[in-house]
Amino acid sequence: MDRPAFWLKTLFPSAILILLISLLPTDMSFRDVVAFTGFSLVFWLLTAGLAKRLHDRDHAGSFQLLFVLPVSGLFVSWQVFGNHPWIAAWGFAAGVIGVWIFVEAGFIRGSLGHNRFGEDPMLYRTSRGPSDIKWQPKADEAVPAGGQTAPPDPAENLASHDQNLVTPSSSIEKSGTFLDDWLTGDEPEIIRSTASTFDHFNNQETVEKNRPDPTRQADFERDKPPRPKFKIGEPPKPPPPSSMPPPITDLDLAATPKDAGPINKKVDLPGPSAVTLKPAVDRSQPSEPTGYPETDRFLVKLREHATDKPAHLHYLQAVAQQGDSWAKLEVAASWLSAANVTQTKADQAISYLRDLADARQSYLGVENEACYFLAEIYRIGLRFVKSNEDLSQKYYIRAVALGHKDAASALASLISNSDFDDINSIAHRLLETAVSDNETASALLQLFDIDWSITYFDSVPIFLRSMVDQGNVLAAKHLGRLLLDQGEVEQGAHILARADQIDTQTIDKIMTIVNDGGAEDDVVNNLISLIQRQAEQGNSYAHYQMGLAYNHGLGVPQDDLMAYVHINVTAAHVYGRERDDLVDLRDRLKENLSSADISRANEILRLKYQI
C-alpha cells in the first residue's frame, strides 16, 4: 500500500468513524454497543492498513507492536498504579515511538521496486491481475491450423519495446525524477506509462467484455496464461474487422468480469415442444414466506413452545380440549411451526391463541405469549393466515401492556421506523387511540423506556401532559425528562416530583444541570431533593450521585460524612470492578473522618439503611 492509499483508505475513514462515534447522542439506545462496534472497526482498519503500509516500507506487519505493546502496558499500569512519574515517562516514550511509526507509514516513501513483501504498489494501480490478461496474436501473425499458438517470447517483447523509455536503473541515478514528491503527485515516467498502459487495456476489455472472442479456444493456455504483447504506453491493437464473427449467435453467457468463461459457446434455443410450463400454484398448501430473517426468528421463538414428540403432542391435544391454557399454547405452537400443517390445524391453532389472548390475566402470563404470537403471525402472514395490520397492532398493544419484552421491542422498532409526518403511520394511529384506550396508553408509556426516540414525535408531549393530568406517574417520569432535555428545567423538576421513579438518564441530566449551574438555587435544591428521594427508595445509582454531590458540595453543603454514607450504600449493591472503585473512594473519604464521625456514619448505615 502506497502513501495516498494509506491516507485515503485507512486514516481518513478511521477519522470519519471516530468523529461519527463522538457525535452519537448520550441518550441513544445501544450507544455503547454502537461505539464498541465502531472502535473495533477503527482498530481493524488501522491495524490492517498500517501492516500493508509497513510492507511497502520493507517492514513486517508486526513492526507496529513496537507501539501497541508499550501503549497496552502503559494503560494496564495506569489502571493498577494510578498516576506516577515513571508512568508519565513511559507515556512520553510510547508517544515518541508512535510518532516515529506514523512518520514511517505516512510520510516516507516505500522501498523502490521489489522487496521481501512484494512488488512496488506504485507499479500496480490496476484492478486486473496478471492472470486475467488475455493474449491475442497480432494481425500479421498466422495461427497454425488446428494448432495452439505459442506464447510470445519475453525476449521478443523486450526487443519490441520503445528504446527511449526511462528504465528503473537509469532513474535511480536521477534522484530528482524518481524520488517523486508525494504531496504534488509527481511520478517517474516508468510508473505513469505502466499505469496508463494497463488502464487503456482494461478500458478496452470493459467495452468488449460481451463481444465474442475472435481467437479460438486453442489459443489459450489455462494453466499458464501468457502475457499480452504490446508496447508500453500504447493500447493493444484490436483484431482486424474481417476476423470478427457475427456477434448474434456466439454470445458468451457465462463470462464474468474476472472469468473468461467458455469460448464460442453455442446457444441452442428450445423448440415449442421443449418448453415446460410452471406448475399451477396449489392454494391448499400453507403460504410461508421463505428467506425472510424476521420469519425465521419468529419460528425459532415459536418452536420454543412446540414439541415434535407424537406421544407428548397427543397428550397436549387431549388436555387442550379440556381447556388447559398452556396445552393450547403448545399445541398451537407445534402445529404452526410445522411446514406441512393442514389448514384445519392452522385454523384451530389460531382459535386457541385467540381464546388465550382474550382471557383474563393469569399468574404465569400465558396470555402474554399468545398475544405476541398473534401479533407476529398477523404481521408477517404465517401459514394460511393473511397479514392484517390492524389485528397485528391490536395484539402488539395488548402484549406490551401485559409486559411482554419481545413485543415491546418489536412495536418500538415499528414506531421509530415510521414516518413522523405521515398521519397514517402506526405512531399517529397509536397516539390517537391512546386518548380513549387505557391499554394503548399503557403500552405507549412502556415503549418510551425501550426507545426514547419515539418521544421526538410532535404529538407525544400533548399525550404525556394529558396522562400526567390524569395522575399517571410513569408519564410524569417521561415528560419531566423530556422537558429537561428541552431546557425547561423548572417545569421539568415540578413534573418529576409526581414521578415515583426516575431512571438513570434523568439522574445524569439532573447532575449535569446542577454541575453546570444551569438553574436557580431553588430549582437546584428541588432537583437534588428528587435524587435524595430516589436514594431513600433504594436506588443505588441515586446513592452514588448523592455521594458525589456531598463530596463536592453540588446542590448540598460539602459533607464528607454523608458522602461516606452514600458511597457505602452504593458499594453494598454493586459488584465487580465498579465496586472496587467505590471501595477505593470510600477509603479515601474515610481518611478525612474522625473516629466519632465514622461511628456516626456506621450508626446511620445500620439504622436507616440496614447495612
Contact in structure between 19 and 70 (CB atoms under 8 Å)? no
Those residues with Cβ within 8 angstroms of residue 17's Cβ, 6 or more apart along the chain or in another chain: 38, 41, 42, 45
The residue out of 243, 276, 307 marking a domain boundary is: 243
| Angle of the 405-416 helix axis to the 389-401 helix axis, nearest 10 | 130
130 and 228 share one domain: yes
Those residues with Cβ within 8 angstroms of residue 584's Cβ, 6 or more apart along the chain or in another chain: none
Contact in structure between 371 and 407 (CB atoms under 8 Å)? yes
Angstrom distance (rounded) from CA 199 to CA 204: 9
Give the residue with greater pLDDT, 13 vs 67: 13
Which residue type, as a one-letter code, is found at position 379?
R
235 and 134 share one domain: yes
- The answer as to whether 582 is a domain residue is yes
Cα 548 from chain centre? 35
571 and 599 share one domain: yes
527 and 603 share one domain: yes
8 and 66 share one domain: yes
Cell 463536592 belongs to residue? 552
70 and 164 share one domain: no
User: In this structure, what C-alpha cell is assigned to residue 163?
Assistant: 528504446
- Three-class SS state of 118: strand
The residue out of 192, 208, 243 marking a domain boundary is: 243
Number of residues that make up the chain: 611
Those residues with Cβ within 8 angstroms of residue 502's Cβ, 6 or more apart along the chain or in another chain: 477, 480, 496, 510, 530, 531, 534, 539, 542
Those residues with Cβ within 8 angstroms of residue 607's Cβ, 6 or more apart along the chain or in another chain: none
128 and 231 share one domain: yes
- The answer as to whether 396 is a domain residue is no
Strand stretches in 251-321, DSSP E: none
587 and 514 share one domain: yes
* Residue 344 in this model has a pLDDT that exceeds 70: yes
Angstrom distance (rounded) from CA 148 to CA 225: 13
- The answer as to whether 418 is a domain residue is no
Query: Which range, of 101-105, 107-111, 156-160, 368-372, averages the lowest pLDDT?
Result: 156-160
Q: Assign 132 a pLDDT band (cuts: 50, 70, 90).
A: very low
DSSP H helices in 381-503: 389-401, 405-416, 426-434, 438-450, 460-469, 473-485, 489-496
Question: Which tens digits make up the pLDDT trace of 480-510?
Answer: 888 888 888 888 888 888 888 888 888 988 8
Question: Which tens digits make up the pLDDT trace of 203-215?
Answer: 454 444 444 444 4
Distances (CA, A) of 307 to 311, 337, 363, 382: 10, 9, 23, 19
Rounded to two decimals, the pTM is 0.45
The residue out of 243, 266, 284 marking a domain boundary is: 243
pLDDT of residue 502: 86
| Angle of the 405-416 helix axis to the 366-380 helix axis, nearest 10 | 30
- The answer as to whether 289 is a domain residue is no
Q: How many domains does the chain have?
A: 3
- The answer as to whether 203 is a domain residue is yes
Three-point CA angle 560, 562, 563, nearest 5°: 60
538 and 566 share one domain: yes
Contact in structure between 27 and 452 (CB atoms under 8 Å)? yes
Number of H helices, E strands in the chain: 27, 0
Which residue type, as a one-letter code, is found at position 194?
T
Strand partners, 259: 256
Contact in structure between 29 and 452 (CB atoms under 8 Å)? yes
Which of 574, 570, 609 is CA-nearest to residue 589? Answer: 570
Structure-derived torsion over alpha carbons of residues 152, 155, 156, 157, reported in degrees to the nearest 10: 70
74 and 184 share one domain: no
pLDDT of residue 217: 46
Contact in structure between 215 and 137 (CB atoms under 8 Å)? yes
177 and 72 share one domain: no
Three-point CA angle 532, 450, 577, nearest 5°: 55
Question: Which tens digits make up the pLDDT trace of 451-476?
Answer: 888 788 778 888 888 888 888 888 88
For range 513-517, the mean pLDDT:
83
* Residue 159 in this model has a pLDDT that exceeds 70: no
Those residues with Cβ within 8 angstroms of residue 159's Cβ, 6 or more apart along the chain or in another chain: none
Q: Which domain holds residue 205?
A: 124-138+150-243
User: In this structure, what C-alpha cell is assigned to residue 337?
Assistant: 411451526
Contact in structure between 448 and 455 (CB atoms under 8 Å)? yes
- The answer as to whether 496 is a domain residue is no
Those residues with Cβ within 8 angstroms of residue 215's Cβ, 6 or more apart along the chain or in another chain: 136, 137, 143, 149, 239, 263
User: In this structure, what C-alpha cell is assigned to residue 451?
Assistant: 426507545
Contact in structure between 374 and 402 (CB atoms under 8 Å)? no
Distances (CA, A) of 432 to 347, 440, 521: 32, 9, 40
User: In this structure, what C-alpha cell is assigned to residue 255?
Assistant: 463470462
Question: Which tens digits make up the pLDDT trace of 299-312?
Answer: 888 788 888 888 88
Which letter does DSSP use for residue 273 in this model?
Answer: G
Q: Assign 119 a pLDDT band (cuts: 50, 70, 90).
A: low
- The answer as to whether 556 is a domain residue is yes
User: In this structure, what C-alpha cell is assigned to residue 230?
Assistant: 504490446
154 and 192 share one domain: yes
Angstrom distance (rounded) from CA 148 to CA 432: 79
Residue-averaged pLDDT of the chain: 71
Own/partner pairs, 347-356, CB within 8 angstroms, 24+ separation = 347/384, 350/374, 350/377, 350/385, 352/320, 352/328, 353/328, 353/329, 353/377, 355/328, 356/325, 356/328, 356/329
- The answer as to whether 303 is a domain residue is no
- Please give the full DSSP string across 189-219, using - where no structure is assigned: HHHHHHHHHHHHHHHHHHHTTTSPPSS-GGG
Q: pLDDT over 70 for what percent of the chain?
A: 70
pLDDT of residue 211: 46
